[in-house]
Structure 1
Amino acid sequence: GTIIRVFDTVTCTVLRELRRGTNPAIIFCLNFSSDSSMLCVSSNHNTVHLFSLNEGKKKKTPLRKLSLPGEVSFSRFQLPFCTKKAEVCICAFGPQPESIIAVSSDGGYCKFNFDRLHGQCTRQTCSLYLEMND
């Protein structure tokens, strides 16, 4: 998988070590929420992963049993508009609480709402604004 490390910029110590899946990925975008409690990450797998940066209970997953390093995302969603693997996508937290916006290089726009407690994402809107030909 791909490990993402969050550092304290004053002391240069690692605050969190996060794991984005089990397969290597190219990270296109990292964005912190306005209160720095969450991180959203998009990659060449056409997914957006959400990580909680607050201390608390760790999510139990099969990766924990294998003793792989890093905390796993509490939620993730597939980008439905990406037409091929490795479509460049940026993600950011929206103006409404618990919302994520993703925009891809093929003209796609998607807005998701997420539930911090249960880790579920719900697609609110999705549109393709450009028709790009190879």
Structure 2
Amino acid sequence: ASEKGTIIRVFDTVTCTVLRELRRGTNPAIIFCLNFSSDSSMLCVSSNHNTVHLFSLNEGKKKKTPLRKLSLPGEVSFSRFQLPFCTKKAEVCICAFGPQPESIIAVSSDGGYCKFNFDRLHGQCTRQTCSLYLEMND
């Protein structure tokens, strides 16, 4: 990820060439986690903005967005969701693809667990479950 956390570059590890340049957003962020799907067709990214972004790594039509009109570099995420249990930007969250197809699991440092299902074609995300396992007092 870039220093500002707005651009994520995927490299070919053999040739060291950039395969994809992905845009998480325009506001600077600290990237906590990057995870590839088991078939390497997708990437999930979590940051200190308490969001998880999903990127398709397959070749195909690029999503048309207002950012693209401004000529900002990078492909944008096809889906993103806000984590309901993260209330502070300092809470670390990791994300990974679940064992079921088109599922994402996110776990936060405050004991939160969420599972989301996503629609690869339309970019919709639905929360399946969300639990807080630790009660932390300030």
How would you bin the TM-score normalised by the shorter chain? over 0.9
Give the TM-score normalised by the residue count of structure 2: 0.95
For the residue of structure 1 that corresponds to 2:62, the secondary structure is: coil
Partner of 1:57: 61
Whole-angstrom distance in 1 between the partners of 2:40 and 2:60? 15
CA contact (8 A) 1:31 1:92 kept: yes
Q: For this pair of structures, how many residues does the alignment match?
A: 134
For the residue of structure 2 that corresponds to 1:97, the secondary structure is: coil
Q: Equivalent of 1:123, from 101, 114, 127?
A: 127
Shift of 1:84: 1.2
Partner of 2:49: 45
CA contact (8 A) 1:4 1:20 kept: yes
CA contact (8 A) 1:50 1:75 kept: yes
Partner of 1:34: 38
For the residue of structure 1 that corresponds to 2:67, the secondary structure is: helix
Q: Which runs of 5+ in 2 are unaligned?
A: none
Give the TM-score normalised by the residue count of structure 1: 0.98
Shift of 1:86: 2.8
Partner of 1:8: 12
- Identity rate of aligned residues, in percent? 100
For the residue of structure 1 that corresponds to 2:87, the secondary structure is: coil
CA contact (8 A) 1:43 1:86 kept: no
Q: Which runs of 5+ in 1 are unaligned?
A: none
Partner of 2:87: 83
Shift of 1:130: 0.3
